[in-house]
């Protein structure tokens, strides 16, 4: 009896060749697992190529709702953005894929799992670490990593073995997509000086093609989770899809950056993440009303730690669990509405209100009417606030004070 292996299968050229190779060269009974995290496309074609590659089965699992509920929304609550710009769509999908590979392997009694990640990227790390953490006994075969073939060789292999792969424009790049965003890399993008050609973008319109009129959307959050658009309660998948479509139409969510991969390579990446950009912006606006200054500051530190952990594939860890508990605790009062304007590539928050807001117009107002702030307290407060600096200047810094001025305005 051949051993069973579960292959993470996209139905594209590389994984179709991998499926055939695992059976032909490695003697495995190959079970393909295709995980739908959004924008899966042609499921018939996926099944067909699995069959052509000689797989015992092609199992297509819809994991969109779980992906949003258990991976994306916690990350939104945390406010994660890798290196300040990347909403981590691809990175957030990987631990779920790892978990589903393991579940499938257990269900059919497989001894191994396989994926088609290259040896230069982050995705191999995330999948391997996920599987290794959840099921240390399973073997992991990285098909492309162990047996790298050029695109032409892969095409020739597919043709020789009767696997029909559609040539698409997308093939000039390496892409990954799910509901939270689309990642594009390689090809001409490897030169960071070159502007991305128009065909890189599939979800977002170029600025010149965006509508003349803005779209205004009201987003309701409950404890940091988006639950309704324009007063209509919505489940996670349609809510995110709607914002993604609308944002894309208005050219929102294009990101072009050079990032630091875990394996030490700097890489040029393009992202299209309209829903993520809108929701992160709106969520932050609500936190501005509902969190105090130290909460906001410390939560920012946690967000950076959280982002790195997600990026580096350490989702299944106690450190993550601990950070997540803190984040959930901060969200207790992040309930309210945010109104955003989507227009010509920009998301602008134009209104916000919270059920238990810390904002007090009575304290903030410059009008005399209804002013609750006693300005006579300010003077004494400032005296004490500045006391340390004053004492120190007199005792230690009198001679240095001039230097500080020079630092501020260096002479030539
Ligand atoms: N650089 C991004 C990340 O590491 C995107 C990776 C995209 N993956 C892909 N197979 N094209 O999360």
Q: Rounded CA gap, 387 and 379, in Å?
A: 12
What per-residue confidence (pLDDT) applies to 168?
57
Phi-psi domain of 204 (left: phi exceeds 0; alpha: psi -120 through 50; beta: other)? beta
CATH label, 181-362, candidates 3.40.1010.10, 3.40.640.10, 3.40.50.11540, 3.90.1260.10: 3.90.1260.10
Residue 371 CB burial class (10 angstroms; 0-12, 13-18, ≥19): middle
Question: What is the 8-class DSSP label of residue 327?
Answer: H
Instruction: Give Cα separations from 59 to 46, 223, 250 (angstroms).
Output: 10, 35, 36
Contact between residue 355 and residue 335 where contact means Cβ atoms under 8 Å apart:
yes
Ligand 1 midpoint to CA 339 (Å): 31
Tell which residue, 339, 182, 173, has the closest CA to residue 274. Answer: 182
Where do the domains of the chain lie? Answer: 4-172, 181-362, 375-407
Residue identifier of the C-alpha nearest atom 11 of ligand 1: 175
* Closest atom of ligand 1 relative to the 267 alpha carbon: 1
What per-residue confidence (pLDDT) applies to 277?
98
Ligand 1 midpoint to CA 371 (Å): 52
Q: Which of 23, 47, 94, 205 is catalytic?
A: 94
What per-residue confidence (pLDDT) applies to 144?
87
Q: Largest Cα–Cα distance in the chain?
A: 86
Which ranges in 85-166 belong to alpha helices (H)?
A: 89-108, 123-134, 143-146, 151-160
Q: Rounded CA gap, 142 and 122, in Å?
A: 13
Residue 68 CB burial class (10 angstroms; 0-12, 13-18, ≥19): buried
What per-residue confidence (pLDDT) applies to 22?
96
pTM, rounded to two decimals = 0.94
Ligand 1 midpoint to CA 300 (Å): 24
Half-sphere exposure of 18 (CA within 13 A, CB side): 28
Token reading at 119: 């040896």
What per-residue confidence (pLDDT) applies to 39?
79
pLDDT tens digits in sequence order for the chain, 412 residues long: 899 999 999 988 889 999 999 999 999 999 999 999 997 888 999 999 999 999 999 999 999 999 999 999 999 999 999 999 999 999 999 999 999 999 999 999 999 999 998 889 999 999 999 999 999 999 999 998 888 888 888 889 999 999 988 765 456 899 999 999 999 999 999 999 999 999 999 999 999 999 999 999 999 999 999 999 999 999 999 999 999 999 999 999 999 999 999 999 999 999 999 999 999 999 999 999 999 999 999 999 999 999 999 999 999 999 999 999 999 999 999 999 999 999 999 999 999 999 999 999 999 999 988 899 999 999 999 999 999 988 988 888 766 666 767 766 666 5
Q: Which of 23, 59, 123, 337 is catalytic?
A: 123
Q: Rounded CA gap, 36 and 285, in Å?
A: 31
Q: Rounded CA gap, 287 and 282, in Å?
A: 9
Please name the fold of domain 4-172: Rossmann fold (3.40.50)
Question: What is the 8-class DSSP label of residue 200?
Answer: G
Tell which residue, 6, 22, 15, 98, has the closest CA to residue 57. Answer: 6
H helix or E strand, kind and range, residue 245: helix 236-249
Going by their DSSP bridges, the two strands 266-272 and 346-354 should be labelled as unpaired
């Amino acid at each position: 009896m051949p051993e069973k292996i579960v292959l993470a299968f996209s139905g594209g050229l590389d994984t179709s060749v991998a499926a055939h190779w695992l059976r032909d060269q490695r003697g495995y009974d190959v079970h393909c697992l295709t995980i739908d995290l959004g924008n899966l496309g042609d499921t018939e074609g996926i099944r067909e190529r699995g069959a052509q590659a000689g797989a015992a089965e092609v199992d297509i699992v819809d994991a969109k709702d779980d992906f949003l509920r258990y991976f994306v929304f916690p990350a939104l609550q945390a406010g994660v953005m890798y290196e300040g710009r990347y909403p981590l769509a691809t990175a957030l999908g990987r631990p779920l894929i790892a978990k589903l590979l393991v579940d499938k392997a257990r269900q059919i009694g497989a001894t191994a799992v396989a994926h088609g990640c290259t040896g230069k990227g982050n995705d191999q790390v995330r999948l391997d670490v996920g599987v290794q953490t959840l099921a240390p006994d399973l073997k992991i075969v990285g098909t492309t990593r162990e047996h790298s073939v050029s695109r032409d060789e892969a095409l020739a292999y597919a043709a020789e073995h009767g696997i029909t792969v559609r040539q698409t424009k997308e093939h000039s790049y390496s892409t990954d997509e799910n509901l939270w965003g689309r990642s594009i890399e390689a090809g001409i993008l490897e030169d960071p000086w070159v502007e991305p050609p128009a065909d890189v973008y599939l979800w977002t319109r170029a600025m010149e093609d965006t509508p003349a009129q803005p779209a205004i959307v009201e987003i309701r959050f409950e404890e940091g989770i988006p639950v309704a658009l324009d007063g209509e309660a919505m489940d996670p998948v349609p809510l995110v899809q709607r914002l993604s479509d609308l944002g894309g139409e208005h050219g929102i969510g294009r990101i072009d950056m050079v990032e630091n991969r875990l394996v030490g390579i700097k890489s040029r990446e393009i992202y299209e993440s309209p829903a993520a950009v809108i929701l992160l912006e709106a969520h932050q606006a609500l936190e501005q009303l509902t969190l105090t200054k130290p909460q906001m500051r410390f939560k920012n530190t946690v967000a950076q730690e959280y982002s790195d952990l997600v990026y580096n594939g350490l989702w299944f860890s106690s450190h993550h669990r601990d950070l997540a508990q803190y984040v959930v605790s901060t969200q207790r009062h992040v309930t309210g509405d945010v109104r955003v304007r989507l227009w010509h590539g920009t998301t602008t928050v134009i209104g916000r209100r919270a059920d238990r807001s810390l904002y007090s117009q009575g304290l903030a107002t410059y009008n005399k009417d209804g002013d609750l702030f006693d300005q006579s307290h300010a003077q004494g407060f400032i005296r004490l606030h500045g006391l340390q600096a004053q004492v120190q200047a007199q005792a230690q810094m009198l001679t240095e004070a001039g230097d500080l001025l020079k630092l501020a305005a260096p002479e030539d």
